[in-house]
Structure 1
Amino acid sequence: MSLPAPPRLSACIITRNEADRIDACLDSLAFCDEIVVVDSGSTDGTRERAAAKGARVLERAFDGYRAQKDYAVRQARHDWVLCLDADERVTPALRTAIERARASGFAGAAGYRFARATEYFGAYLRHGNAYPDRVLRLFDRRRGGWRGDREIHEHVTVDGPVRTLAGDLEHHAYRSLADQLGRLERYARLMAEHMHARGRRARLANILLNPFWRFLRGYVLRLGFLDGWRGLVFAYVEANYVRQKFIKLWLLERGQRI
């Protein structure tokens, strides 16, 4: 009696101007049965590079990170999906863990999480708030997905057990410090607008104490200092993001432009 074939697997990625990073991402997904790329107006050849790698490329106007990723999942041909950003790569160890779970038919799980390791100025952060930073990215779309109404810091939820896989997802998040600062400023604005729309109010303590707590938790309590100067810079920039978020919310409450 032959064993049932393992479930087929779709990889889903959203992109915009990722020509310098998309090849490595797609190469790490070669074990998937299909790759779906949803692009939102790239002008640097991202779509062409993805198509050349065998991905099925779709175009859609961007209306939020969560909505874009949900759309990509809905376009997949298979129910088990693996979602990555273009700046992420499946390591050989993680691939082995995924293929092992797949060979078992993804038995007993609605989704899988795994650690994400962020590359920061030439080395991977291994402590602090940056690691292990476990993310749920492999799941049965019939039992979950990119739910909710928050378009920033979006995440997957599933109805059923979630298992943890060995191996890391590599995250090449920032091209430079300027790239990181610009991105976090944009995230702070989006989060402030999201909180303001839902009636959240900023207090002086949020502006003064929340950034301090974020730094203390990441740099001291979670041993971010063991990552050397990179850990210090990351913790400080992350704390500044929290400060920006609450300052922008404070201004929105007072009818000011941000």
Structure 2
Amino acid sequence: MTKLPISATVICKNEEACITACLASLDSCAEIVVVDSGSTDSTLAIIRDFIARGWPIRLIERDWPGYAKQKQFALEQAKQDWVLSIDADEWLDNDLRRDLPRLLQAAPEVAGWRLQRALTLFGRTTPAPRWAKPERILRLARREKVRFDEDLLVHEGLLAEGESLDARNGLLRHERALRLDAQLGKEITYARLKAQQRIEKGKKPSLLKLVVNPPLYFIRVYVLRRMFLCGIPGFIHAWTGAIYSLICEALHYQMWFEKNRKS
């Protein structure tokens, strides 16, 4: 297979359940940069098996500095003209893989492509249907025109210098479907980081956001993104997001109170 001038970048830790599908979907990439931050399961063994079979993987083991900083580090190791930032629990479906050569032929003023990202929710064996409006996230871009904002503690994303277009063929599949008790643990971590980020920027908590944002989040996900098409799993997913929003606003208030009480 002719390799495409793409450096795929993956950060990981203890991703033995997902990393095989992720790496296998990157077979057309000329380079795959994997940055591991201390896996203790079989993740590293799986990656090294790919390397032993001739896959163009550069494995770097590095301490964890935070999401944005780790992803920016991985980006800086890339050598190809284009970079594909992909999480270890994601993979490219066949339609998206076939469309990659066309996407790379974009006009020079196009900095990158927003890929359609489809979730497979806990309780389902297939991704949410296209009618459920997949997220569109900038993931494929010209290496010299993108970066991560290293000041962000969570919800980091590529920032592009130039135009970004929507890729309409294929899906970036997200396959980690966690049961609610496990997912809420992650949501609490993300909410704490987001609240901490706001505090560090001097943002004050808002009673209006505390009251309004959680139900609005539910409406946005369940109705506007049509997660009602996913049945009970979609309902749970939308409320999980609303709970995340509530925790984030509540932690922002509590951390602000704690900070000012000490000062």
When normalised by structure 1's length, the TM-score is 0.90
Structure 1, unmatched stretches of 5+, are none
Letter in 1 for 2:118: A
Say if 1:15 and 1:37, in contact at 8 Å, map to a contact too. yes
CA offsets 1:201-258 (integer angstroms, 9 cap, x no match): 222222221101111222234332222111110111100000000100110111179x
Q: 1:105 to 1:227 in 2, by over 3 A?
A: closer
Alignment-derived partner of residue 97 in structure 1: 99
Q: Is the 8 A contact 1:211 1:239 kept in 2?
A: yes
Give the drift of 1:137.
0.7
Determine the C-alpha separation between the residues in 2 that align with 1:112 and 1:173. 23
SS at match of 2:171: strand
Structure 2 segments unaligned to the other structure (5+ residues): 52-56
1:20 is aligned with what amino acid?
A
Q: Tell me, in whole angstroms, the C-alpha distance in 1 between the residues paired with 2:130 and 2:29.
A: 30
- Residues in 1 aligned to 2:27 and 2:246: alpha-carbon distance in whole angstroms: 41
Distance 1:177 1:12, change over 3 A: same
The aligned counterpart of 2:46 is 49
Q: Does 1:215 align with 2:212?
A: no
Aligned amino acid, residue 116 of structure 2: A
CA contact (8 A) 1:93 1:168 kept: yes
Q: How does 1:114-193 map to 2 (within 5 A)?
A: 114-121=115-122, 122=124, 123-126=126-129, 131-165=133-167, 166-193=169-196
Q: TM-score, normalised by structure 2?
A: 0.89
- Large movers: runs of 4+ above 4 Å: 105-108
Distance in 1 separating the partners of 2:251 and 2:133:
27
* SS at 1:81 equivalent: strand
Contact 2:3 2:29 in 1 (8 A): no
CA contact (8 A) 2:133 2:225 kept: no
- What SS class does the counterpart of residue 38 from structure 1 fall into? strand
Distance 1:8 1:238, change over 3 A: same
Q: Structure 1 residue 200: deviation in Å?
A: 1.4
The CA distance in 1 between the partners of 2:22 and 2:116, in whole Å, is: 17
Deviates more, 1:166-175 or 1:13-22: 166-175
Q: Distance in 1 between matches of 2:63 and 2:86?
A: 19
Counterpart-to-counterpart distance in 2, 1:78 and 1:26: 17
My pick for the range that moved more, 39-48 or 214-223, is 214-223
| SS of alignment partner, residue 173 of structure 1 | coil
Deviation of 1:105 after TM superposition, in Å, equals 6.5
For 2:229 and 2:199, the matched residues in 1 are separated by 37
Q: Which residue of 2 aligns with 1:202?
A: 205
Q: Structure 1 residues 7 and 161, CA, compared in 2 at 3 Å: closer, same or farther?
A: farther
On the 8 A contact 2:69/2:150 being kept in 1, the answer is no
Are residues 106 and 47 of structure 1, via their aligned partners in 2, closer, same or farther at CA, if it must alter by over 3 Å?
farther
Distance, in Å, in 1 between the alignment partners of 2:257 and 2:3 is 56
**Shift in alpha-carbon separation, 1:74–1:232, aligned structure 2, 3 A:** same
Relative to structure 1, the CA distance from residue 221 to residue 8 in structure 2 (aligned partners, 3 Å threshold; closer, same or farther) is: closer
What is the root-mean-square deviation of aligned Cα atoms in Å?
Answer: 2.1
> When the two structures are aligned, how many residues end up with a matched partner?
251
Distance 2:177 2:203 in 1: 30
- Whole-Å Cα distance in 1 between the matches of residues 37 and 231 of structure 2? 37
Matches of 1:105 and 1:6, distance apart in 2: 18
CA distance in 2, matches of 1:232, 1:114: 24
